[in-house]
Structure formats: structure tokens, C-alpha cells
Amino acid sequence: MNNQELETMRKSFKTANTQTNKLLKNPKVQELKGKVQDIRNYSIENNKELFKLAEKNLNNNDIQTFFASTVEEAQNKILELIKENSDYDNLEDVIVCKSKSNTLREINIEEYLNKEGINFLATDLGDRILQLKEGNNTPIHPTCPAAHLNVNEIANVVNNSEMNVHVNADAHEIMQAVRADVLEKLNKSDVGISGANSIAAEDGSIVLIHNEGNINLIISKKLHIVVAGIDKIVPTVEDAVGIAKLETVYATGKTITSYMNVISGPSKTADIEKLIFKKMYGAEKVVVIFLDNGRSTAFNECLWCIGCGNCVTVCPVYNIIGSEFGYENYVGGRGVAFSDFIADEETSLESGLFKCTLCGRCTENCPVSLPTNDIIEELRANNNNAGIFLKPHSLIKNNIKDHDSPY
């Protein structure tokens, strides 16, 4: 990230923090915070039991489920589903439309499908801007991925893109141009793919939140594929709604999101003599792919995260160096910690394991009090015990061993 991007990012974060901090004084928000902490703690501790229950009740609701141990398994299953269910015979004619999702970025699904000749359309405004941008398109925040780009930079991205339009450096004009382009391509798509904010085990339901309304269009495609980490499972829809409300407070400074979708099966109707007929207006098939990819080996606390991104807005390291501190789309200290489990120890080291100051501001400002600094400290000790060091650290270690001096 260059200095201008870092400056724009800090400005965006300041705006978000001002809005959020006003709501945090509300006693109801503090009460909700306590409830959500209990929900996340219970859900992760009882993940195996909740997974079995979720699988059973999703299937009862006519939602297919698959378990993917690895990124490769998830990618292959998605491609298989597209080939089986798309109306297009030629993969090059297929357009897969997606919502904003860290899990989809984790499995590199855009790159994977592009290699198969399949067109991939990001529908969220920030995601679409990054998709059109040449060079580094790493998101800098989980809910506002392009918050580091100012309006002039975004106008240049659009004007030099495949959209073949010219826009002025005006936010509303840019929004209208991207919206028109996305809607045109959406009309040609019959496959939608999304993440999930939560999966309600007892109800067999998928809960999605958004502000733009794009997910309403994605979930109405012939095939709707949901890729969700196993850590997204909670007991009930009520629990999922509570998490969604708290995430919205911490992510946007609003009390509730514009849209909340609860999906409990494919499209159907019983308006004629109470006989159930499928394939009305929405998806004909809904499929959930549960992704492990190292989550089952992670520290429980590392999986409490609800994805609001408030931690990075207050992180002194992230505010100085940006996305260099984190692992791909999992930004900041929690991303560094998470990478140890979804990748490996070396990746965690390279992502910034020793860049963290252990100040604890992330934990203080986290809605579920995720102890990122404690996790990073433990991972540092684990790396040291495994003989995995940064080169400068290794040099100092060897000097002390050989010469009784770090020099």
C-alpha cells in the first residue's frame, strides 16, 4: 500500500469509529455484546454436535450439504455443481455471481473458476472495484474492502477497466455505472455463490446480511451455493440475528443492516390447495459446503470472530503498514493468528507474527473480546519451540549460542 492509500484508509477508519463509538454507549448494545460472546463461546465449544444437527436439519429443508476438509475439495465440489446445474453447455458462457465473502477469497474461487474458463462476477460495490483494479487488489477491511481507495483512484479504476465507460470522480456517478454493469451481467447468470454470516443448526437455516441488496439477486439464481466455515454454525436463528445485529454495530455504526436473508430451502409455493410445488421465483437448488481447512485444529478463541473488522481500525500496526499485517483477506492480528491454522507456521510468521506490539487494543475493541494478542504470543512460543524464526532472530540466537553475545 502506498502513502495515499494508507491515508485514505485511516480517514475511512476514523469515520467508521466515530459512528460505532456513539452506539457503544447504549446499554442495549452492551447487553447484546454479552449475549453474543456467550453464543460464540458455546457454538465453538460444541461445534461437532452443532455440525451434525445443522447437516441433518438443512437436509430436512431440502438443502444439500457437503463437507470440504481442504480448499481443493471445496473448489472441486463447486466446479462439479456448476457443471451439473448450469443451463450453459459451454463453461465459457457461464457467469457465476458472488457476494462479498472472506471464505470465498480464502478458497481462491475466482482464480480457480477463471482457469476453467468460467466468468466470475463480484456484485458488491467494493469487491467489484477491487476486481476491476489492476495490481494488488487485497481487501483492507472485511466489510469495506476498498476503503483505502479515494474517489479519484476509483474513478481511474473504472475508466481503465473492461466496463468501457467514462465517469467523473463523483461517488454517485461511479456507483450508478458499476450498478448498471453488474445488473447487465447478472441477467446472464444462473449460478450464485455466497458465504454465510451464520448457519442456524436447530432450524436448518442460512443467515446472510447485507446493505446493497445484491445478495437478494444472487440467492434467486437457479443454483445457489453457500460456502461457510464450520465455525459459522450457531444453535438458532435467534442467535444468528443477535450476531448479525452486533456485527452491524461494530462494522458500520448502525443498529441494523439494510437486509437480512434467512434461507431455509429452495424456492417453493403451497398457494394452490396447500400442495407444495418447487421452482417458483428463487433458487431451484441450494447447496451448503462446510469448509474446515484447518479450523478444527485452531484455538477455540481464534474462531469466535464475527467478522466486523473493528479490530484493524484501532490497530496501531495496521494503521501504519496496512494489509502487510495480515494474511491475504484475513487482515490484522487475527488474520496473522488464523493463518497458522488455515495455512502453516511459516505463513503466520511471514504474515506479521512479530509485527504485533501485543498492545491489546484489538481485544479491547472486539465485540467478543477475542484475545488476539494472547494467541499471537502463544504462537510465537510454538514457532520458537519448532525452530521457526525470522532471519534476524535466528542470527541473534546463533550469535548468542556461539559467541555469548547477540552481536
Helix (H, G, I), strand (E, B) or coil at 287: strand
Q: Provide the domain limits for residue 156.
A: 3-295
> What is the pLDDT, as a whole number, of residue 278?
87
Instruction: Give CA–CA dist 92/332, Å, rounded.
Output: 37
Whether residues 317 and 228 fall in one domain: no
CB 58 within 8 A of CB 233: no
pLDDT in tens, 18-71: 999 999 999 999 999 999 999 999 999 999 999 999 999 999 999 999 999 999
Whether residues 245 and 113 fall in one domain: yes
Whether residues 30 and 171 fall in one domain: yes
Whether residues 159 and 119 fall in one domain: yes
Q: At what angle do helices 372-385 and 345-352 cross, to 10 degrees?
A: 120
> What is the pLDDT, as a whole number, of residue 200?
98
Of 238, 261, 295, which residue is a domain's last? 295
Give me the residue label for grid cell 407444495. 276
> What is the pLDDT, as a whole number, of residue 396?
76
- The dihedral over CA atoms of 64, 308, 107, 135, expressed in degrees to the nearest 10, equals 140
Number of independent structural domains in the chain: 2
Residue segments in the chain with a per-residue pLDDT below the cut of 70: none
Whether residues 59 and 204 fall in one domain: yes
Whether residues 261 and 396 fall in one domain: no
Whether residues 85 and 174 fall in one domain: yes
128 assigned to some structural domain: yes
Whether residues 235 and 375 fall in one domain: no
**Whole-structure pTM value:** 0.93
Of 295, 319, 344, which residue is a domain's last? 295
Whether residues 70 and 134 fall in one domain: yes
